[in-house]
Amino acid sequence: MNHINFGFLDVQVDGSNSLESKNLAVARATVNLFEESQLGVIYTNGDPQSNDDNSLVGADFTFRTSKFFGNNNVFESNFFIQKSSTTGFTEKQGAIGGSVRYPNDRFSFRLFVEIMDENYKPALGFVDESGVNDYYLFSRYRVRPKKFDSIDFKIDAHYRTTMNGAVVRSRFNFPDFRITNKAKDFIDVTGQFHRERLFEPFEIVEGIIIPIGDYKFIKTEIKMITARERVLSGNFTMGAGEFYNGERFELRSEVTWKPLSFFNTTFQYAYNKVNIPEGDFTTHVTQINLNLNFSPRLYWNVTNQYDNVSDSFGINSRIRWIIQPGNDIYLIFNQGVDTSKGHWTPSTRQLYTKASWTIRF
């Protein structure tokens, strides 16, 4: 039965505030078909964020071959269908979608389509918006000149509509190209065309509300990234352009230091300066990650983050012990700190463990 895979996760959650104690469960099974394809089903039960009953059932099929018009040419297509069931709703709770991928060196292509009913709710999963149709297209053509590793010419587009076809938002990147040197450092230059329709006022930060409207804006972005194999590596992104009825300037940076084979640390910083008729604001987000690998099967990760919008600081500490591949034990600690009053006040604290066990038939 090596072609059958099955996974099950069950969690009992205590009640807190207005939420009742409840059981959350996920079950997933797949069957390997042909040489590289797979048929799967999934079932979830429970909603961790409300007292409503919620469940979901779904099926998916992935066809994959690495011999598409010859060896070492990968082709993949995927189809899925899901239906949720939530207290208070009896219809329009489904989702259906699929994709086609040709992820190869000289030419790469992906097309993805998803349709989600307005009452579709995967309570143990995630969707940022229901009642929409999503379309995504990516295409890349690569050349390999002698003095460089590669030069990529790309098209990247996302289009989202309501169920009746009204545009919600869209993004079209063109021109979009990347130059990579022999050391694997690269630079990206992208022109981005955005459209966003607000059907209700949007509070982008506290006290600044963007009114209902159909907004179109253009942005240019430059990204430089060094090879991660270096002892000191990093990336830097700068973007500028229109933003709703105003302007936006942003910087994002990341620096990773690997002084030892078992230790590395990463510093991240994001800066946004926005000027719009409804008001101006600036955001800062800082994050520091520490990673310590005691062995190939035991490691410790600590993430610290601060942002000036929520005026809070958070710590996430996670220890993972891989007893053997597929069998893992986690020890996780979270600490939130409120910094809005000029001093640090502990707000939330969590300590929990998780075990993941794979049973092979």
The predicted-structure confidence for 139-180, as pLDDT tens digits, reads as follows 999 999 999 999 999 999 999 999 999 999 999 999 899 999
∠23-85-17 over CA atoms, to 5°?
40
**Cβ within 8 Å of residue 253, ≥6 positions away:** 234, 235, 236, 237, 268, 269, 270
pLDDT tens digits along 258-272? 999 999 999 999 999
- Residues 221 and 192: beta-carbon distance below 8 Å: yes
Dist. CA 99–CA 352, nearest whole Å: 37
* Choice among 11-20, 75-84, 190-199, 237-246 with the minimum mean pLDDT: 11-20
The answer on pLDDT for 32 being more than 60 is yes
Q: How far apart are the first and last CA of the chain?
A: 6
Average pLDDT of the segment spanning 229-253: 96
**Cβ within 8 Å of residue 317, ≥6 positions away:** 300, 301, 302, 303, 332, 333, 334
Residue with token string 């998780």: 354
Tokens of 250: 């942003």
pLDDT value of residue 322: 95
Average pLDDT of the segment spanning 345-350: 88
Tell me how far CA of residue 226 lies from CA of 55, 127, 188, 235, 268, in angstroms. Answer: 45, 33, 12, 6, 15
pLDDT value of residue 356: 83
pLDDT tens digits along 75-114? 999 999 999 999 999 999 999 999 999 999 999 999 999 9
Dist. CA 172–CA 160, nearest whole Å: 12
pLDDT value of residue 346: 87
Dist. CA 188–CA 224, nearest whole Å: 6
**pTM for this structure?**
0.83
pLDDT tens digits along 280-326? 999 999 999 999 999 999 999 999 999 998 889 999 999 999 999 88
- Residues 69 and 45: beta-carbon distance below 8 Å: no
Tell me how far CA of residue 114 lies from CA of 7, 42, 131, 133, 193, in angstroms. Answer: 25, 18, 11, 6, 22
pLDDT classification of 2: cutoffs 50, 70, 90: low
